[in-house]
Structure 1
Amino acid sequence: MNIALIIPSRYGSTRLKGKPLRLVSGKTLIYRVWSLASAVKGVNSIHVATDDRRIADHVEGFGGLATMTPERCENGTERVFAAAKSLSPVPSHVLNLQGDAVLTPPWVLERVVEEMVRQPDLEMVTAAVRMDWRSYQKAVEDMASGEAGATTVVFDRHGNALYFTKGVIPFVRRDSPSFSTEGAPVYQHVGIYGYKFETLTHYLTLKPGPLERAEKLEQLRALENGIPLRVVEVDYRGRTNGSIDIEDDICRAENIISSEGELLDAEL
């Protein structure tokens, strides 16, 4: 089993140009993500998939592996695939870690890797975290105000996804046996994906369906086409999750790092 962890990293972000090279608490965003990926046990190689020589030079400068991919890739999934198919040998499995996920703990990624290793025939694997009541109430408030907040997911008894949505599911009644002080029976999706290489190849031949177009969630393409998607529950162990999409997110991430400390034992 050959698992390649691939980080898609594009310079021309529409909301934050040059995002991978922006500094977050003194280190570039892409260096931070690569460092977290390097701490993940169970993967065979780590690659930054990019369309910009500035990013590639920076990655190679700190000892990482950069793979150049076409500028025309429409999203991170296509960029990950372009990088994976160029590798020799082509990996049997691919783990896609978003290039702006500076607050993703290595142990969360390892949980996805463990499931891929345990059941190598799984076509796709992703992750979800159980919401506490504070997160749940915020998600409900965001939905009521018309904002697209956290993505939630429901899955069957075997952990296979039934549906993903920008809404909040399931609806939790106050008199429900599921209602407890420990947390809501609602799971927030974590945007990490593991694929068999053959599944990733097939996935990218499929057209977006009505559910994906309505929700703007790529993972619904798998469900609409009958591709099973395993969901594993992960635990952030008190850490705050988040990624960087806009300028304000940099300040937020820096505040989290300052208050909670670095994710890695050794200083980045």
Structure 2
Amino acid sequence: MSVVIVIPARFASTRYPGKPLVELRGADGEARTLIRRSWEAAMVVRGAARVIVATDDSRIADHAAGFGAEVAMTSSACRNGTERCAEVLVGLPETPEMIVNLQGDAPLTPAWFVEDLVAGLRAAPEAQVATPVLNCSGAMRADLLADRAAGRVGGTTAVFGVDGRALYFSKEVIPFVPHEVAPDAASPVFHHVGVYAYRPATLAAYAGWPEGRLERLEGLEQLRFLENGGSVLCVEVQAQGREFWELNNPEDVPRIEEMMQRMGMA
């Protein structure tokens, strides 16, 4: 059963223009671009038949091809990464079992996050889409709250039912917690990891739906599934000692570089 990983990347980000080509310096002192580090993270995922960088920008395409990535040029009319993945799906010679969207702003995503996500969707035939969630420690929750207090739109949080089905995703830190949480303790908050596994028919349907009201307000593409009655499975993944953060704002660059230093990531 084939799994194709697509890394959507656009230059014209509202919050951080040119983000895919921003350089991150690893523990070995070498600087490599965000899109390259995201591609390298995807290339070590077991079971992936292909890894494709999907973009509408020639600068990103030329850079990605230069380090050996397979590149698909997609329309500038794509409003988000899921629509870009849907366009890639149309151009594939054979329909895969699933498409995995590994967004190009998460170079710290461990391979097992994606592998566990694929396994989770395979084990839940009723689910149309799956996405990973990571239980926040008190320290991670505090970092998310600090971003919001500073007026930055940072990480996304998820709430889900006892069956793992997503109830909502938000740029706010939800659920509300009426007490302090110790830095090294688990909190009731789950950080949404920006990866999705789609069944092809559901991904194709997404491209035909209009942008949702909540999707537009929150700036979260996955809400379009919920607004159209779709079932999104939240798959809890384990950090296994790894630190995780996504590059959403320029202020995240030194934070991620510090994490890479601590973890000894080249």
**Do they superpose with TM above 0.5?**
yes
Structure 1 residues 202 and 15: alpha-carbon distance in aligned structure 2, compared to 1, 3 A threshold: same
For 1:166, the aligned partner's letter is: K
| Deviation of 1:229 (Å) | 0.4
**Equivalent in the alignment of 1:11:** 11
Structure 2 unaligned residues grouped into runs of 5+: 26-30
Does residue 1:106 correspond to 2:121, yes or no?
A: no
The farther-off stretch of 223-232 and 119-128 is 119-128
**Alpha-carbon deviations, 1:43-83, whole Å to 9, x = none?**
22110011123322332232221111122222222112111
**Equivalent in the alignment of 2:240:** 237
TM-score (norm 2): 0.86
For 2:100, the aligned partner's letter is: L
Tell me, in whole angstroms, the C-alpha distance in 1 between the residues paired with 2:74 and 2:218: 28
1:27-46 equivalences in 2 (<5 Å)? 27-46=32-51
| Deviation of 1:254 (Å) | 1.9
1:115-194 equivalences in 2 (<5 Å)? 115-120=120-125, 122-140=127-145, 148-174=153-179, 182-194=185-197
| Deviation of 1:127 (Å) | 1.0
Work out whether residues 155 and 163 of structure 1, in 8 Å CA contact, stay in contact via their aligned partners in 2.
yes
Work out whether residues 112 and 126 of structure 1, in 8 Å CA contact, stay in contact via their aligned partners in 2.
yes
Work out whether residues 155 and 248 of structure 2, in 8 Å CA contact, stay in contact via their aligned partners in 1.
no
The percentage of counterpart residues that share the same residue type is 42
Work out whether residues 153 and 248 of structure 2, in 8 Å CA contact, stay in contact via their aligned partners in 1.
no
Structure 1 residues 168 and 13: alpha-carbon distance in aligned structure 2, compared to 1, 3 A threshold: closer
| Secondary structure, aligned partner of 2:204 | helix
Tell me, in whole angstroms, the C-alpha distance in 1 between the residues paired with 2:141 and 2:11: 34
Structure 1 unaligned residues grouped into runs of 5+: none
Structure 1 residues 160 and 29: alpha-carbon distance in aligned structure 2, compared to 1, 3 A threshold: same
Structure ID, larger Rg: 1
1:90-105 equivalences in 2 (<5 Å)? 90-105=95-110
**Equivalent in the alignment of 2:28:** none
1:248-267 equivalences in 2 (<5 Å)? 248-262=251-265
Q: Quote the RMSD (CA, aligned, Å).
A: 2.7
Work out whether residues 5 and 46 of structure 1, in 8 Å CA contact, stay in contact via their aligned partners in 2.
yes
**Alpha-carbon deviations, 1:148-186, whole Å to 9, x = none?**
4532222112111112223333334559xx99x841122
Structure 1 residues 120 and 88: alpha-carbon distance in aligned structure 2, compared to 1, 3 A threshold: farther
| Deviation of 1:104 (Å) | 1.2
Q: Report how many aligned residue pairs link the two structures.
A: 261
**Alpha-carbon deviations, 1:121-166, whole Å to 9, x = none?**
5310011111112233444566567664532222112111112223
Structure 1 residues 195 and 12: alpha-carbon distance in aligned structure 2, compared to 1, 3 A threshold: same
Tell me, in whole angstroms, the C-alpha distance in 2 between the residues paired with 1:248 and 1:86: 36
Tell me, in whole angstroms, the C-alpha distance in 2 between the residues paired with 1:12 and 1:73: 12
